[in-house]
Amino acid sequence: MSMPAKEKTKQTLTPLELEIMQVLWENGASTVAEVIPKLKAELAYTTVQTMLMVLLRKGKVKRTQEGRAFRYRPVVSRERASGSAVEDLVRRMFGGSAEALLMAMVDTRQISAKELERLARKVAAAEQL
């Protein structure tokens, strides 16, 4: 049974959530104060804290108390998050057609013939499993 679109959207990471998750994936469990300097934009402590609370509600991170602060750690892998993001993009922009996404990449020259050949080999190998 597939997940309703509203629930899928809730699970998709916003650009800022994704940036925070990337900090956690690269640096491991971190406090708000440890995340802030690793972000591209200068954000207020409360903004980052709020975003981590949103990620906690979405089930993307867990937290443990450490003194007066919380240490947040990712509970969803980078691979799973990227898979969800691609699925969301394909669903919203290409009507659920991965082929349409690939064709758009070919048409806009975002993927080369060599990369397509490598993908074809990977698909063929996956079909053998």
Q: List alpha helices for 12-112, DSSP H.
A: 15-27, 32-35, 45-57, 78-94, 98-107
Going from the N-terminus, what domains does the chain have, and what CATH number goes with each? 5-74 (1.10.10.10), 97-129 (no CATH)
pTM (2 d.p.): 0.72
| pLDDT tens digits, one per residue of 68-82 | 999 999 999 999 888
Q: What is the DSSP letter of 125?
A: H
Round to whole Å and give the CA distance between 39 and 89: 24
* Encoded tokens for 79: 């691979």
| pLDDT tens digits, one per residue of 40-69 | 999 999 999 999 999 999 999 999 999 999
Please name the amino acid found at residue 125: A
